[in-house]
Amino acid sequence: MGIIVLGLLSDSHGRRARTARAVELLHVAGATTLVHLGDLEDASLLEELLLPGVEVHVVPGNMDDPRELAAVARSLGVSFHDPGGTIRLGERTISFTHGHDRELARLLAARPDYLLHGHTHVAADREVDGVRVINPGALHRATRFEVAVLEPRSGRLDRLVVPA
């Protein structure tokens, strides 16, 4: 297996062009898997996440209709996780959710290597009880529009600024 690079984005809030620019930045940065951490607000925005050979995972945010998002995800071959999910990539366990406290606590208790979330519109990278907790930032209602790429094996995290 080659190097795994996660492309992380969140809180698109219906901003189609900005989401497309973000996905292009993640693609150029070498993302092999994309994880959208919720609040697309428009399920058809999932189409912007599709790249040849790139696996896509999505969770619903508080501004999403989970049933609609699940149906569109299924039709596009996108992995839908509600309210959160966990995947194993190489030797690392990555859990993700939009960012509701109860679900964050549940996933944190499972002790993954990484716990990814959105919701706050504030980029963050911190350790909580031995788990690295990362928020890539937001594509709407943020001081800077940001996404991130994470190489789980090395732990390298790079933030990318998305043009408005």
Amino acid at site 123:
A
Phi-psi category of 91—alpha, beta or left, where left has phi over 0 and alpha has psi -120 to 50?
A: alpha
88 in a structural domain? yes
**Would you state the structure tokens that stand for residue 2, as one six-digit string?**
């080659």
79 in a structural domain? yes
Please give the Cα distance from 59 to 79 (Å, whole number): 9
Residue-wise pLDDT tens digits, 30-75: 999 999 999 999 999 999 999 999 999 999 999 999 999 999 999 9
For 71, the domain range is 6-161
Number of domains in the chain: 1
Residue-wise pLDDT tens digits, 116-135: 999 999 999 999 999 999 99
1 in a structural domain? no
62 in a structural domain? yes
76 in a structural domain? yes
What lies within 8 Å, CB to CB, of 64 at 6+ separation is: 38, 39, 40, 41, 43
Band of residue 90 on the pLDDT scale cut at 50, 70, 90: confident
95 in a structural domain? yes
Tell me the whole-structure pTM to 2 decimals. 0.96
144 in a structural domain? yes
The CATH number for 34's domain is 3.60.21.10
44 in a structural domain? yes
